[in-house]
A and B are shown apart, each in its own frame.
Chain A
Amino acid sequence: MSNETKQILTTDGIPLEVSLKKAEKKNKIKAFLLVAPLLLFLIITYIFPIGDMLFRSVDDRMVTNMLPKTYKAMEKWDGKDLPPEEVFEAFYIDYKLLVEQKTFGKLATQLNYEKNGFKSILKKLKRKMKKFENENYKEQIMAVHKRWANVEYWRAIKRRAPDITYAKYLKAMDMFENEDGNISQVSEDRRVHRVLWLRTLEVAFFVTVFCFLMAYPIAHLLATLPMKYSNLLMICVLLPFWTSLLVRTASWMILLQQQGIVNDFFVWIGLVANDNRPEMMYNKTGTYVAMTQILLPFMVLPLYSVMKTISPSLMRAGKSLGGTPFVAFWKIYFPLTIPGIGAGCLLVFILAIGYYITPALVGGASGTLISNQIAFHMKSTLDWSFASAMGLMLLTGVLVVYWVYNKLVGVDNIKLG
C-alpha cells in the first residue's frame, strides 16, 4: 500500500484544494470588508487607548528628553562619588536651554517626585546661573547650594535615566525604589493606595454576594410566575435600569441621609433614638446599599435567562424520584443555573470593581474606591501616568478574575441572556 493519498482533481485538472481555496477567497474578502469598519472602530476606540495607557504608565522619557546631554555624560559616571566636570557642564547646558524655553518647572516637579528638595535648589540655580562663567561649572554649581554637592541628588537624577519605569506601579502599591535600588514601603502614614485596593476588592466582592443573594430568588420568581405577573416584575427590575445612574444615586442620598426617610422611619418605629440616628451614608454602608441596588439587574437578567430555559419537569422528576425539595433544588436546579450565576457574578464584580460615580457621591471618605483615586489623578494632579498605571492594575485584576472563572467554570458556560 502506498502512503501517498491520491490528490483529488476537479474536472479542469486543478487540484480540488486549490480550487476550493480560490472559490472561498472571494467570500473571505467580502466578509472581511464587512467587518472592517467595526474592526477599525475597535482598534481606534479600544485597543489603541489601552495600548496608550500601558505606554503612558511606564513611559519615563520626560526627564531624559529634558536633559539629553546630562544623561549622555552620566553614562561613564559610576555613581559612587560626585560626578565629573563634564556632567556638571552638560547639566548646565541642558538646564539653561530649559530655562530659556521656560519649561524648567516640569523638570523641577519630576525631580522633586524622585527626591524632595530639588525644587528649591533648581530655582536657586536658575537665579545664580545668569552670572556663571564659562569654566569650571562643577564648582560654580556646587557653590549655589550645598545640596548640589550632595551625591544623593546626582544619583537621583541618574535614576531617571531609563526610558521605562515601574515606579508608578510601585507607588500604587504604596512602595518605592529607594536610593540603593531596593524596593521598600512608604512610611505608614502615607500608605493610602493599598487600603483603597483592598477596599475596592472587598466592596466588589460583597456587592457581588449581596446581588447574588437578592437576584437569585427574584430571577427564579420571574422565570416561574405566569406571564402577566412576570412581565410586571420584569418591569420593576428594569425600570431602575433605565433610570439615570445619577438620579438613582441621588435618591439613595435622600433616603439614607441622617435626616432622611429611612432614618425617619427607624425613629418612628422606635428602632433608634432620634438623637442617635445611624450614619448610613458617606461611609461603606452607603456604597454597599447603593451599588447593590444599581448593579442588581446585571445579576437578575443572566440568571433569569438561564432559569427560563430550565424545564419545570426537571424539578418534578427530581421529586418524583425521591429527592426532597431541597435535594432536588441543590442537585438539579442549582447546578443548571451555574452558567447564569457565573455570568451574573462576573458582570457585577467587573462593574463593581471599577465603579466610580456612586462611591464618589455616597461613599464619603471611608467609602471611596480606587477608581475615585484614578479620577482624582486624572483631573486634579494631572499625573496621568499614575492614573494609567492604576487603571491597568484594575484591568489586570479583572483579567485575573476572568482567568480564575474560566479555570473553575469555563467561559464557554457563560450565558449572558
Chain B
Amino acid sequence: MSKNSQFVKFDKVDKSYDGKVLVVKDLNLDIAEGEFITMLGPSGSGKTTCLMMLAGFETPTNGEIYLDSNPISNIPPHKRGIGMVFQNYALFPHMTVYENLAFPLNVRKVPKDEIDKKVDKALSMVSLTGFENRMPGQLSGGQQQRVAVARALVFDPAVVLMDEPLGALDKNLRESMQYEIKHIHESIGVTVVYVTHDQGEALTMSNRIAVFNDGKVQQLSSPDKLYEEPVNSFVAEFIGENNTFQGEVSDISNGKCKVKLKEGEIVANPINVKSTGDKTTVSIRPERALINPSQKMDNNHKGKIEEVIYHGDHTRVRLNVLGNSEFILKVPNSSQNLDIKLGNIINISWDSADARALDPK
C-alpha cells in the first residue's frame, strides 16, 4: 500500500471572517499520509483558522479542502472522522475518563466489549491505565492532556488535529509530552496536523513545518532545512536566533554577492536578491560565526565584545560588528579560553554560504 502524498490537500483556500480582510490567502498545502506536520506562526497568522477549516468548524470562503481525495467543505464536523485535541483539552467535565474515551465509540455504535478493549489500549498508550474512573477535574494538567490525546486517537481517525495542546503545561512537562506525542505518532502512524506558536516544539516534533505569517505559508520544509535555509527574512527571524545586516547588493557573481553595509562590506549567499542595487537583509545564525577559526573563511571582521552572558553549556557573547551592536555569538564552553572579556576586540569569521541575503525587512 503506497502512502498518499496528498492525503490532506488545501486547494487555493481563502478565508475571511468579515468580508474585508483575508485571514488565509490562497493556501495550497499537501499533507502526506502518516506525516506529522506543524503549522507554526505568530498569533493571528491564520494557522488556527486553517485547522478549524480542516476540522469543519469554519468553512473556506473560497477554494476546497480534500481529505483522501474527497472534498470535505460540505461535510459537517461529526462526519469527517477527524480527531482533535483542543488547547484547553475540552474533556467533558461530567464524564469519567472512561466515559470521555468511550464517547466517540458510543456515537459510532461500537459494541461494548470492543469499546472496553479500545479504551484500555488508548489509555495504556498514554500510560494512564487505572485512571478509568477518575473525573477530569481530579487529574493534573499533564494527565488531562494525555486523556485528550487518547480520546482523539481512540476511534482510529485518519487525521488528528492538535491545536496548541501543550500551551497550558509547564516547561518540563511540555518537553516530555512533546516526546510522548512524537512517539505515539511514530508507533501508530496517524497523520497529525499540529498547530503551535512555539518554534522549539515545532522543530522537535515535526516531519515538516509550515511557517505561517499574514495568512500565507512562508515556507514549508523539514525542520533542519527551515532552520538552516530559511527562504525569507520572516522565517529566518521567526525560527531560531539570527544576526542580521541591512544593506544593498553591490555585486552578484558566481553564486555569491557582495552586500554593502553602512560600515563595510560582506560576502553573502544570494537567496532573494536578483541584481545589483537590491536592498537586502543578510541573516547569519549565531553558531555559524566563529572566533579565530582554523580554516579559512571569506568573511573576516573585527568585533568588540559588549556583553558576556554565561549559559551553562555555552556562553553568549554580544559584539559590535560592522556597526551592528546586536551581533550574537554562541561560544561552546568546551572551547579553549578565547580571551572573551568585556571590551576586547576579537576576530570573527563566517562562510559566505551561511550568510543568506534575503528580502529586506
Interface residues of A (CB under 8 A from B): 311, 313-314, 316-325, 327-328, 331-332, 335-336
Known: A313-B86, A313-B90, A331-B103. A324 touches B57 (CB 8 A): no
A–B pairs, 7, beta carbons within 8 Å: A317-B84, A320-B55, A320-B56, A320-B78, A320-B80, A321-B84, A321-B152
Say whether A332 contacts B78, CB under 8 Å: no
Smallest CB–CB gap between B166 and chain A, Å?
16
What residues on B are CB-neighbors of A320 within 8 Å?
55-57, 77-78, 80, 82-84, 161
Nearest CB on A from B90, distance (A): 4
* B274 interface hit (Cβ, 8 Å): no
CB nearest neighbor in B for A315: B90
Is B230 part of the contact surface with A, judged by Cβ < 8 Å?
Answer: no
Q: Which of B79, B80, B86 has the most CB of A within 10 A?
A: B86
Q: In the complex, are the beta carbons of A314 and B92 less than 8 A apart?
A: yes
Q: Which residues of the partner chain A approach B82 to less than 8 Å between Cβ atoms?
A: 320
Partner pick for A313 among B78, B81, B88, CB 8 A cutoff:
B88
A320, A321, A323, A324: which has the most chain B beta carbons within 10 Å? A321
> Per-position contact with A for B146-172: 1 when CB-CB < 8 Å, else 0?
000001100100000100000000000
Is B264 in contact with chain A by the CB < 8 A criterion? no
- Name A335's closest neighbour in chain B (CB-CB): B94
Query: How many A-B contacts at CB < 8 Å in the complex?
Result: 68
Contact string, B283-318, partner A, CB cutoff 8 A, digits 1/0?
000000000000000000000000000000000000
Q: Residues of A contacting B78 with CB < 8 Å? A: 319-325, 327-328
- Give every chain A residue within 8 A of B55 (Cβ-Cβ): 316, 320
On whether A322 and B81 interact (CB within 8 A), knowing A316-B57, A317-B92, A331-B103, the answer reads yes
B76 at the interface (CB under 8 A from A): yes
Q: Is the CB of A322 within 8 A of B107?
A: yes
A321 contacts B155, C-beta separation under 8 Å: yes
User: Does the CB pair A336–B94 fall under 8 Å?
Assistant: yes
Among B57, B83, B87, which residue has its beta carbon within 8 angstroms of that of A321? B83
**Which residues on B are within 8 Å of A, measured CB to CB?**
55-57, 76-84, 86-88, 90-94, 103-104, 107-108, 151-152, 155, 161
Cβ–Cβ < 8 Å partners of B81 in chain A: 322
How far does the Cβ of A143 sit from chain B's closest Cβ, in whole Å? 81
A327–B93 alpha-carbon span in the complex (Å): 16
Query: Whose C-beta in chain A lies nearest to the C-beta of B77?
Result: A319
Which of A311, A316, A325, A327 lies at the interface centre, i.e. has the most chain B CB atoms within 10 A of its CB? Answer: A316
Considering only CB atoms, which chain A residue lies closest to B104 in the complex? A321
Provide the residues of chain A in CB contact with B94, threshold 8 Å: 335-336
Q: Which 5 A-B pairs have the closest CB atoms?
A: A321-B104, A317-B90, A320-B84, A313-B90, A319-B77
Would you give the shortest CB distance from A322 to chain B, in whole angstroms?
A: 5
Q: Which residues of A contact B91 (CB under 8 A)?
A: 317
CA distance A327 to B76 in the complex (A): 14
B90→A311 contact, CB < 8 A: yes
Q: Do the beta carbons of B87 and A318 come within 8 Å of each other?
A: no
The docked-state distance in angstroms from the alpha carbon of A324 to that of B56 is 13
Bound complex: CA A311 to CA B79 (Å): 22
Known: A321-B107, A322-B108, A323-B78. A336 touches B83 (CB 8 A): no
Q: Are A332 and B88 within 8 A (Cβ)?
A: no
Residue of B nearest to A327 (CB): B107
C-alpha spacing A311/B91, complex, angstroms: 10
Give the chain A neighbours of B86 by CB distance below 8 A.
313, 316-317
Within the complex, the shortest CB–CB distance from A53 to chain B, in Å, comes to 41
Tell me the bound Cα distance from A313 to B161 in angstroms: 14
Instruction: For residue B339, give the distance in angstroms from its CB to the closest CB of chain A.
Output: 56
Interface centre among A319, A324, A336 (most CB of B within 10 A): A319
CA separation between A319 and B78, bound complex, in Å? 5
Interfacial chain B residues near A321, Cβ < 8 Å:
78, 83-84, 103-104, 107, 151-152, 155
| CB-nearest residue of chain B to A314 | B90
Are A336's CB and B103's CB within 8 A?
Answer: no
The answer on a CB contact under 8 Å between A336 and B90 is: no
Question: Whole-angstrom distance between the alpha carbons of A317 and B151 in the complex?
Answer: 10
Report chain B residues within 8 Å CB of A318. Answer: 92, 103
Give the distance to chain B from A239, nearest Cβ to Cβ, in Å: 31
B76 near A311: Cβ-Cβ < 8 Å: no
The closest CB in chain B to the CB of A336 belongs to B94
Question: In this complex, which of B76, B78, B79 has the most chain A Cβ atoms within 10 angstroms of its Cβ?
Answer: B78
Structural contact, B57 and A323, CB atoms closer than 8 A = no
Complex CA gap A158/B171 in Å reads: 86
Shortest beta-carbon distance from B101 to chain A in Å: 10
Hey, which chain A residues are within 8 Å of B155, CB to CB?
321-322
Minimum CB–CB distance for A321 against chain B, Å: 4
| Additional 6 contacts, C-beta under 8 A, given A316-B84, A318-B103, A321-B155 | A316-B55, A318-B92, A319-B57, A319-B78, A320-B57, A320-B161
Least distance between B37 CB and chain A CB atoms (Å): 18
Q: For B80, list chain A residues within 8 Å (CB).
A: 320
Q: Across the interface, which residues of A come within 8 angstroms of B104, CB to CB?
A: 321-323
> For residue B93, which residue of chain A has the nearest CB?
A336
Which one of B94, B151, B161 has the greatest number of beta carbons of chain A within 10 Å? B94
- Shortest Cβ gap from A259 to chain B (Å): 50
Which residues of A lie under 8 Å from residue B57 when comparing CB positions? 316, 319-320
A316 to B82, CA, bound (A): 12
B88 touches A323 (CB 8 A): no
Bound Cα distance A336, B77 (Å)? 22
In the bound assembly, the distance between CA atoms of A336 and B56 in angstroms comes to 24
By a CB distance below 8 angstroms, the chain B residues around A316 are: 55, 57, 77, 84, 86, 90
Find chain A residues with CB under 8 A from B79 CB.
322
Inter-chain CA distance A318–B76, complex, in Å, is 12
Query: Which of B55, B57, B92 has the largest number of chain A CB atoms within 10 A?
Result: B92
